[in-house]
């Protein structure tokens, strides 16, 4: 399998940016999920599980390493007051801290089209990944089939198929050494509408639960840091 696309999502749950080359270390792609929006009244981190409007904003890193958010109307900002006006709640854009694990909300029933009961859960410290075991995510075009890859927000989209068979194996891609881990549980976020005509589709999650036990894409631990480029080959390492 070859690297078909590389994706970085600087702000959790916002649209990301497609890269031609990425620097990857044990925390994943540099700058990925490095920021998140927090509700200032509840202290909870916001995700598109709870606030679907987030998917209609986009985030990008500037050359100086700062982040900026592009709102649906084209406004470019990192100002909390402007972001609060967009979402209709008091929010704060925070950079990740290595020793702080944020709290988010998720539906009690992941398959419910309009969840009414919400549970709190703790994410990873450091970059705002859902779990400390998911610092880098990979999915193949064979697994995606006709689904838009944006629904699953993987960092690495591979041309071909077979990522599920790599579980437990070490592999190299570009200058990076990985250990491929378990498949990733999917949530209601995969059904949310997104810009560019991607509509709400509850059948996505129903199909994943019915045909794949609720799992799609794989996580990977980074054993050796380096650079990955579109076109690089992902290959298991010999024993």
Which of 66, 61, 64, 86 has its CA nearest to residue 75? 86
Name the E strands within the chain: 2-8, 17-19, 21-25, 28-29, 35-39, 58-61, 67-70, 76-77, 91-95, 103-107, 118-122, 136-140, 156-159, 170-173, 176-185, 215-224, 226-229, 234-236
pLDDT value of residue 109: 80
pLDDT value of residue 239: 61
Which of 115, 226, 215 has its CA nearest to residue 164? 215
CA distance 145 to 230: 20
If you write DSSP's letter for every residue of 37-77 in order, what string do you get? EEETTT-PBP-TTT-GGGGGSEEEE-TTS-EEEE-TTS-EE
pLDDT value of residue 79: 98
Supply the pTM of this predicted model. Answer: 0.92
Torsion angles phi and psi, residue 176, rounded to 5: -110, 140
Q: List, for residues 6-36, the tens digit of each pLDDT value.
A: 999 999 999 999 999 999 999 999 999 999 9
206, two tokens:
């129903």
How many angstroms separate the Cα of 143 from the Cα of each of 37, 76, 202, 226? 31, 35, 18, 26
Contacts of 180 (CB under 8 A, 6+ apart): 138, 163, 166, 167, 168, 169, 170, 171, 218, 219, 220
Q: How crowded is the C-beta side of 189, counted as CA atoms within 13 Å?
A: 26
Helix boundaries (H) for the chain: 80-87, 141-144, 203-212
**Residue spans per domain, the chain:** 2-236
Identify whether the C-beta of residue 117 lies closer than 8 Å to the C-beta of residue 102: no
CA 142, 130, 53: angle at the middle one, nearest 5? 85
Q: List, for residues 179-210, the tens digit of each pLDDT value.
A: 999 999 998 999 999 999 999 999 999 999 99
CATH 2.40.33.20 matches 2-236: yes
CA 186, 214, 148: angle at the middle one, nearest 5? 55
Low-confidence stretches of the chain (pLDDT < 70) are 113, 238-239
CA distance 79 to 63: 18
């Amino acid at each position: 399998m070859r690297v078909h696309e590389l994706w970085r999502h600087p702000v959790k749950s916002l649209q990301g940016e497609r890269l031609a080359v990425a620097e990857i270390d044990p925390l994943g792609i540099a700058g990925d999920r490095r920021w998140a929006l927090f509700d200032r009244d509840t202290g909870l981190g916001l995700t598109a599980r709870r606030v679907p409007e987030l998917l209609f904003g986009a985030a990008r890193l500037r050359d100086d390493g700062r982040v900026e958010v592009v709102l649906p109307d084209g406004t470019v900002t990192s100002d909390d007051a402007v972001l609060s006006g967009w979402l209709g709640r008091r929010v704060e854009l925070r950079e990740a801290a290595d020793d702080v694990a944020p709290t988010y909300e998720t539906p009690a029933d992941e398959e419910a089209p309009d969840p009414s009961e919400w549970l709190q859960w703790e994410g990873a410290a450091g970059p705002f990944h859902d779990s400390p075991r998911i610092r880098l995510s990979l999915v193949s075009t064979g697994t995606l089939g006709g689904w838009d890859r944006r629904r699953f927000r993987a960092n690495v989209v591979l041309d071909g198929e077979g990522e599920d068979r790599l579980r437990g194996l070490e592999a190299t891609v570009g200058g990076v050494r990985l250990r491929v881990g378990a498949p990733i549980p999917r949530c209601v976020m995969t059904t949310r509408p997104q810009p560019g005509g991607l509509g709400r589709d509850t059948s996505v999650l129903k199909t994943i639960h019915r045909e794949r036990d609720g799992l799609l894409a794989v996580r990977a631990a980074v054993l050796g840091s380096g650079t990955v480029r579109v076109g690089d080959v992902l290959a298991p390492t010999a024993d």
